Amino acid sequence: MDKEFTPRIAAILCQWCSYTGADLAGTSRLQYPTSIIAMKVMCSSRVDPVLLLKAYLSGSDGVLLGGCHPGDCHYEVGNYHTRRRFAILKAVFDTLGLESARLKLSWISASEGPKFAQVANDYTEEIKKMGENPSKKKMFL
Amino acid sequence: MKAKIGIYVCECGPNIGETIDIPRVLETIPALEGYEDVELVPKSFGLLCSPAGKEYLAKEITDNGFTHLVVAACSPRDHNSTFIGVCKEAGLNPYLYKIINIREHCGWIIHDKEAATDKAIQYIRSGISRVLYQSELFERQLEITPDVLVIGGGIAGMEAALSLASHDRKVYLAEKTGELGGKAARFASLLPRQGRGADVIREKIKAVEENEHIRVHLNTELESSIGFLGNFEVVLAGNGDDEKTDLKVGAIIIATGYRMSDPGSFTGYEYADTDEVYSSLEIERMNGGEGIALRSGAKPASVALIHCVGRQEKGYCSRICCNYMMKIAGYFKKQSGATKVTEFFFDMCLPHKADQEFFDHSVGLGIDFKRVKEIGLSGTSVEFAETGGGKQKMDFDMVVLASAMEPSEDTEALAGLLEIDLDERGFFKEAHQTTDPVATSIDGIFVVGASQGPRGVSDSMLLAQATAGRIRCQLKPGGKIVPEVKVSEIMEAYCTGCRTCLEVCGYGAIYFDDQKGISIVNEAVCRGCGNCFGSCPSGALRTKHFTNKQLYREVTEALK
């Protein structure tokens, strides 16, 4: 490779916990790579597998889904549903021979700015090791 | 009409001005690929959230006739509502605007200004593409009823009713038994230091009965309830007759209290009806009547008071027992100073500021406190081991048990009827234990007193007063409420009637239309989380302002 690979990671975050956690990372001036591209939804449970697939097929090298910690969902139980749906999508990825490690679900509370930065840094490193999203190169399905 | 999008970058003083190359942003935007059919007008301003900034932005919207607006500034948590206000003032539907967070998510997290600028442009491009797919949404104002239904005529319910009743609102107080006052009315002394407990309750009952704004429904239970904050339609039913009362209320307060668990049901405390073993409520009754006596009529010479009965099985401390057991010890001592009183406890719970003093006072009365690590009962013989000690056995004339408080018998049914949650202990679950302790999962339904968890009279009254305050602020006579606009909707043609969405909705906001055979969203109740969307197998759901199209545009453009 001629220059260092900078991944793109779509981070879909619930507005109550994870997005606020990301805000706190910013307010605390914590540094994390530009690879993370955050977008906000009302609740992680709004994110159906198709939206994650859309991000993946749009060339996201990794897709990060952030929600409130189990038991802390602003909508009581949304994230429990998220967790189940996410597990199914992971299983589908594995079945199709896709790299399910390109999907990550993380619970980040509104007060966990450092955790957000940590996840952003670690996940970026992980994806760097995996290299580019293969769907960018060829039709593979 | 050709779309004309205003893109305003806020410098936020040095926060964005110095961390992001704003001139480069402004230069890049008009040249973005794929927006040839759209007029993009990028500008920057010093501090858009300042009075001058807001005025400037409003004028810009009007003068330029923007169809859409993108503001690249701080976190939506800080100033989204500010710019929504500006849009409204300038006559632009605020759902055609989007705030882009280039401060917390760009300028502040990357030292490299060039990289931060690249990322800001990426975000702004994604925002531009999203607003193009956003649609106008319109807020509705709904009339409200300020009247309140209180379920349960114990001390918490009565206090809530009294705190609410005023010339501008009516309170309906439904009590399932034939009299007001609840369990506290049986106590000879209400709190350790208030001698005339029963009198205080009697005064409250009288005040409720005489209040012209409170209508008391005795022998009455809730039969059904539908609606939402400001607009509940409830039916009360008499439990002895067929009388039904239809009411319209704006809020519902649950004050159904607790019940004492049966102490004999816990391991180690199995006792026969003929044993001289009593529950604390039985002692209260005797003390309020002929005096506390054995079955023979004789006064006991020695008494064991056992705290924490069932605490381990239940998994929680009932919080009030330590205090009331000391109160009961006082009854015995008052009856005869010679009575030997021993209190057995696992942990002493003294949560209020005056409790320590009361404990010291009780020690001064000669009451023997024993902290135990295990305890069991055989008739009126108590077998126990003190912390750090071996097994011992003591015989008493009488044993009094403080068993765990548990949810009252109709808690589960009521929760089902109102579609609100119970916690893992079976009590009504508050919206948030620490920060929102009287609200429930449904807006407009509140829970006070011991129906929410073990607590005594003073704490119950406190919650009742707090709830009354909440309701008086939320539901003002003549006021209106604006329900959430970013709600879910079901496209009838696609719905297969599988009812999966009904299962996942935590708010009872979706109902099934039997005639059409499909699910319908009650928009006034929906909170817009989108869980139903995530669950729908036939793609019949749409989450307003978070539609697939909008999110797909946002994500694909951001990844370009």
**Residue A140 placed within a domain:** no
Q: Counting Cβ atoms within 10 Å, is residue B512 exposed (0-12), middle (13-18) or buried (19+)?
A: middle
Cβ B380 vs Cβ B387: under 8 Å: no
Cβ B407 vs Cβ B451: under 8 Å: yes
**Residue A32 placed within a domain:** yes
Angle between helices A49-57 and B548-559 (to 10 degrees): 30
The answer to whether the CB atoms of A23 and B104 lie below 8 A apart is yes
- pLDDT tens digits for chain B (560 residues)? 789 999 999 999 999 999 999 999 999 999 999 999 999 999 999 999 999 999 999 999 999 999 999 999 999 999 999 999 999 999 999 999 999 999 999 999 999 999 999 999 999 999 999 999 999 999 989 899 999 999 999 999 999 999 999 888 899 999 999 999 988 777 766 655 555 667 888 899 999 999 999 999 999 999 999 888 999 999 999 998 888 999 999 999 999 999 999 998 999 999 988 899 999 989 988 987 889 999 999 999 999 999 999 999 999 999 999 999 999 999 999 999 999 999 999 999 999 998 999 999 999 999 999 999 999 999 999 999 999 999 999 999 999 999 999 999 999 999 999 988 899 999 999 988 888 899 998 889 999 999 999 998 889 999 999 999 999 999 999 999 888 899 999 999 999 999 999 999 988 899 999 999 999 999 888 999 999 999 999 999 999 999 999 999 999 999 98
Cβ B229 vs Cβ B253: under 8 Å: no
Residue A39's CATH number = 3.40.50
Separation CA B503–CA B456 (nearest Å): 36
**Residue A3 placed within a domain:** no
Task: List, in sequence order, every beta strand (DSSP E) within B187-242.
Answer: 214-217, 220-228, 231-238
Mutate one of B109, B123, B489 to test the A interface: name it (highest A CB count within 10 A): B109
What's the 3-state SS for chain A?
A: CCCCCCCCEEEEEECCCHHHHHHHHHHCCCCCCCCEEEEEECCHHHCCHHHHHHHHHCCCCEEEEEECCCCCECCECHHHHHHHHHHHHHHHHHHCCCCHHHEEEEECCCCCHHHHHHHHHHHHHHHHHHCCCHHHCCCCC
**The CA-based dihedral angle spanning residues B29, B31, B36, B42, taken in that order and rounded to the nearest 10 degrees:** 30
Residues of B in contact with A29 (CB under 8 A): 108-109
* Residue among A25, A39, A76 whose CB faces B109 most closely: A25
- What is the phi/psi pair of residue B343, to 5°? -110, 130
Q: Counting Cβ atoms within 10 Å, is residue B36 exposed (0-12), middle (13-18) or buried (19+)?
A: exposed
Among candidates A60, A65, A112, which has minimal Cα distance to A89?
A: A65
Separation CA B142–CA B515 (nearest Å): 27
Asked if the C-beta of B76 comes within 8 angstroms of chain A's C-beta atoms, the answer is yes
Asked if the C-beta of B528 comes within 8 angstroms of chain A's C-beta atoms, the answer is yes
Nearest-CA residue of chain B relative to A117?
B109
Residue-number span of the structural domain to which A123 is assigned: 9-134
**Residue A139 placed within a domain:** no
Which residues 6+ apart lie within 8 Å of B356 measured at CB?
B350
Asked if the C-beta of B506 comes within 8 angstroms of chain A's C-beta atoms, the answer is yes
Separation CA B23–CA B525 (nearest Å): 46
Among candidates B381, B83, B445, which has minimal Cα distance to B229?
A: B445
Separation CA B243–CA B55 (nearest Å): 60
Mutate one of B555, B557, B560 to test the A interface: name it (highest A CB count within 10 A): B555
Which residue has 């009547």 as its token pair?
B289
Which residues 6+ apart lie within 8 Å of B376 measured at CB?
B268, B269, B382, B383, B384
Go through the domains of chain B in sequence order and give each one's CATH number: 4-137 (3.40.50.960), 148-257+408-474 (3.50.50.60), 260-405 (3.50.50.60), 488-544 (3.30.70.20)
Our count of domains for chain A comes to 1
**Residue A31 placed within a domain:** yes
Asked if the C-beta of B553 comes within 8 angstroms of chain A's C-beta atoms, the answer is no
The answer to whether the CB atoms of A26 and B116 lie below 8 A apart is no
Cβ B400 vs Cβ B342: under 8 Å: no
Neighbours of A80 (CB within 10 A): 16
Which residues 6+ apart lie within 8 Å of A79 measured at CB?
A14, A43, A44, A45, A67, A68, A69, A70, A72, A73, A107
**Residue A92 placed within a domain:** yes
Q: What is the ipTM of this complex?
A: 0.94
Separation CA B294–CA B195 (nearest Å): 24
The string over B184-195, giving b where at least 16 C-beta atoms fall within 10 Å of a residue's C-beta and e elsewhere, is bbebbbbbbeee
Asked if the C-beta of A13 comes within 8 angstroms of chain B's C-beta atoms, the answer is no
**Residue A141 placed within a domain:** no
Give the pTM.
0.73
